[in-house]
Amino acid sequence: MDNVSPEVRSRTMAAVHSSGTRSTERALRARLAQAAFRGWRTNAKDLRGCPDFVFDQQRVVVFVDGCFWHGCPVCCRMPGSNKAYWNSKVARNQARDRKVRAGLRRDGWRVIRIWEHELQECPDSALDKIGTAIARV
Ligand SMILES: [Zn+2]
């Protein structure tokens, strides 16, 4: 990514943002259906941060977070150039994530975060995480 123009880079990032996260969301949706999870809805615009999955009855919300945009500690690597720009952008996202999660917890929700890479590398453990949270209620 170091040798590409800013325009190309921002187009690339936009593609990472939309297709990456959306396809992992789709994957999780399929797995949830397969594993016979019941009573969930997606993209809950009525809740803070618009969680990707909501289990209303169990008061559990799930966010599927893109590793780059949300600063995954395992795989978020800043592009070589414009580091300061991307650092502050991701830092802002992380601050917003913290605020959203704190607000949801205050409202009585259990918040599950699943990183995009977890879903790609280990979808079963992502499912377990959700299953455990729901069973614990
Ligand atoms: Zn990651």
Listed residues: CB within 5 A of ion ligand 1:
67, 72, 74-75, 115, 117
Confidence of residue 1 (pLDDT cuts 50, 70, 90): very low
Predicted pLDDT at 24: 80
Which candidate, 87, 86, 83, 75, places its Cα nearest to that of 118? 75
Predicted pLDDT at 17: 53
- Cα(112) to ligand 1 centroid in Å equals 15
- Cα(76) to ligand 1 centroid in Å equals 6
Give 28-50 pLDDT, tens digit per residue: 888 888 887 888 999 899 999 99
Q: 116: Cβ–Cβ under 8 A, 6 or more apart, which residues?
A: 20, 21, 24, 64, 65, 66, 67, 72
Give 65-117 pLDDT, tens digit per residue: 999 999 999 988 888 888 899 999 999 999 999 999 999 999 999 999 999 99
Predicted pLDDT at 111: 97
pTM exceeding 0.75: yes
- Cα(97) to ligand 1 centroid in Å equals 15
If 0-12 CB within 10 Å is exposed, 13-18 middle and 19+ buried, where does residue 53 land? buried
- Cα(104) to ligand 1 centroid in Å equals 23
Name the E strands within the chain: 40-42, 53-55, 60-65, 110-115
